[in-house]
Chain A
């Protein structure tokens, strides 16, 4: 009985192995539907209240469009364009530093060995702000370079306007 079971199992394995091999499915040439669209949006806050003349941390929330990713502030290769926060000099406000989150590892399906450092979904920058008493409009910008699964888009800048009330 045991020998018969062994024989049936072995035959099944042999038949499975000799089955016709499958060709990989032909790659579908999916075209990007998000061509030219804004890949990143500044979510909030529009206004913050901070103590005057004291260093404060303001969290700035952004969202990367679904299916897209942008390079982190520290991409793994020099050729890739990092995400940067650009702050113009303005009297009354000082942004001494910006903390960027650590990027998540990402690989394109066509190049699984190459690991990129990216932001996808929602991400938060922490700006270290000191302001003189009063109301200030910070007109900063986020510079990024986005890609989806098979296309990349030229670097872009989006405005980040923040009303700072320092008391």
Chain B
């Protein structure tokens, strides 16, 4: 009887040891996977994109729009840099998801000559000063809440047509250092796809 107890105790101890080893292994793999994911960028092959921009390979249409302080911002000012031109709006929920990614990617690639220009597509009643003031204030509030530190211009509808009629938001154009559109995304896409397109823009036009 005592021998049986001893055997049972040994088996239970072995099982406990196996559980612990298994759990430790699982935890270690999980942490390793998380570390890998943090540094992982999936490069998207051209054929994987269902949507190919009609502007791809063409010069990005030039523009000059006001920022939130009334200062003119022109695309030409960014010649020599890779630019992510992102159309968004305050009422666009998917647009909000990208913003924290943009902030981190901007920080990550700024040293290589990368910049983001946010283009607000919110309606502006230019003929009604009071309404225009309120609408601008709403955009400013959104920009502050989202901590958008990159340049933001307003009145995106004014340049929607040359950019192919930007109808769904978010829409982003990736422009290389020579001002050529190298990629476009429509709707919310993965962070990896955005980063891959940023790299394309940085690599192009050198």
Residues of chain A having any CB pair with chain B under 8 Å: 3, 6-7, 10-11, 13-15, 17-18, 20-21, 23, 26-27, 29-32, 35-36, 79-81, 108, 110-111, 114, 116, 145, 147-148, 150-155
Stretch at the interface among B17-25, B76-84, B108-116: B17-25
Closest to B185 in A: A29
Task: Knowing A21-B29, A30-B50, A35-B186, say if A153 contacts B91 (CB, 8 Å).
Answer: no
Q: How many angstroms from the CA of A27 to the CA of B165 in the assembled complex?
A: 26
Please indicate the chain A residues that have their CB under 8 angstroms from the CB of B185 in the complex: 29
Q: How many angstroms from the CA of A36 to the CA of B192 in the assembled complex?
A: 26
Tell me whether B8 and A3 are in contact (CB under 8 A): yes
Contact of B168 among A11, A26, A36 (CB under 8 A): A36
Residues of chain B having any CB pair with chain A under 8 Å: 8, 11, 15, 18-19, 21-23, 25-26, 29-30, 33, 37, 42, 44, 48-51, 89-97, 121, 123, 138, 142, 165, 167-170, 185-190, 192-193
Tell me whether B93 and A36 are in contact (CB under 8 A): no
Tell me whether A20 and B29 are in contact (CB under 8 A): yes
Task: Knowing A7-B11, A14-B21, say if A152 contacts B91 (CB, 8 Å).
Answer: yes
A-B contacts at CB below 8 angstroms, number: 116
Q: How many angstroms from the CA of A147 to the CA of B169 in the assembled complex?
A: 9
Task: Knowing A23-B33, A79-B138, A116-B93, say if A36 contacts B44 (CB, 8 Å).
Answer: no
**Distance (Å) between the CB of A154 and the closest chain B CB?**
7
Please indicate the chain A residues that have their CB under 8 angstroms from the CB of B94 in the complex: 108, 110, 147, 150-152
Tell me whether B93 and A111 are in contact (CB under 8 A): yes
Closest to A10 in B: B15
Tell me whether B187 and A32 are in contact (CB under 8 A): yes
Please indicate the chain A residues that have their CB under 8 angstroms from the CB of B165 in the complex: 36
Tell me whether B186 and A31 are in contact (CB under 8 A): yes
Task: Knowing A35-B168, A79-B142, A150-B94, say if A14 contacts B50 (CB, 8 Å).
Answer: no
**Distance (Å) between the CB of B28 and the closest chain A CB?**
10
Please indicate the chain A residues that have their CB under 8 angstroms from the CB of B91 in the complex: 79-81, 145, 152, 155
**Distance (Å) between the CB of A162 and the closest chain B CB?**
27
Tell me whether A152 and B42 are in contact (CB under 8 A): no
**What would 20 A/B residue contacts be, using CB atoms closer than 8 Å?**
A3-B11, A13-B22, A14-B19, A17-B25, A29-B187, A29-B189, A32-B187, A36-B168, A79-B91, A108-B93, A110-B94, A111-B93, A147-B94, A151-B186, A151-B187, A152-B89, A152-B93, A152-B169, A153-B167, A153-B169
Closest to B28 in A: A18
Contact of A18 among B15, B26, B167 (CB under 8 A): B26
Q: How many angstroms from the CA of A152 to the CA of B97 in the assembled complex?
A: 13
Please indicate the chain B residues that have their CB under 8 angstroms from the CB of A31 in the complex: 50-51, 186-187
